[in-house]
């Protein structure tokens, strides 16, 4: 197939049914940016091509963030590709976030009462004094 920009094979109409296109359709523009809401899983489009042309549209499942879809138009052994950069908004209530919070709460370390900390500190201080006493004890001749 021969790929020839600005050829006589063009879309006559392109309409996005469940999203917003960054600017109005023109058959001479081959790239579009489209924004869809977070609950949209497939891009729905309506298009028309000239008589005798056929099309192929990659209507993949949309992931959050950037997705690239292609609408290919074929006629007389020639091809034109329209590229659709589809940005799916990120959901505010991300699945699993509540489970993550619950996991964090379940794994919190219990606070040690202040009395136990004081007892531990005094015990360590006494242990250090005893060690220094043995180490620096005057030697008897």
What is residue 1's predicted lDDT score, i.e. its pLDDT? 38
55 in a structural domain = yes
What is residue 103's predicted lDDT score, i.e. its pLDDT? 53
pTM exceeds 0.75, yes or no: no
Q: 78: which 2 tokens?
A: 């020639």
Nearest CA to 30 out of 83, 75, 72, 86 is that of 83
Residues 51, 76 contacting (CB under 8 angstroms): no
For residue 51, what are the domain limits? 2-88
Total of domains in the chain: 1
pLDDT one digit per residue (tens) for the chain, 141 residues: 344 455 667 889 999 999 999 989 998 899 999 999 999 999 999 999 988 899 999 888 999 999 999 999 998 888 899 999 999 998 765 555 555 555 555 555 566 566 677 888 888 999 998 888 888 877 776
14 in a structural domain = yes
The continuous run of DSSP H or E covering 63 comes out as none
Residues 69, 86 contacting (CB under 8 angstroms): yes
134 in a structural domain = no
Query: At 57, which CATH number?
Result: 2.60.40.2340
């Amino acid at each position: 197939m021969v790929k020839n920009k600005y050829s006589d094979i063009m879309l006559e109409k392109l309409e996005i049914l469940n999203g917003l296109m960054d600017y109005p359709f023109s058959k001479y523009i081959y790239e579009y940016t489209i924004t869809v809401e977070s609950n949209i899983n497939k891009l729905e489009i309506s298009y028309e091509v000239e008589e005798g042309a056929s099309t192929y549209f990659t209507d993949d499942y949309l992931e959050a963030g950037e997705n690239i879809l292609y609408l290919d138009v074929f006629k007389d052994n020639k091809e034109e590709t329209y590229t659709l950069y589809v940005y799916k908004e990120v959901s505010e209530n991300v699945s699993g976030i509540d489970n993550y919070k619950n996991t964090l709460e379940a794994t919190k370390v219990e606070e040690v009462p202040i009395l136990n900390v004081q007892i531990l500190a005094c015990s360590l201080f006494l242990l250090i004094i005893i060690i220094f006493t043995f180490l620096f004890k005057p030697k008897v001749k």
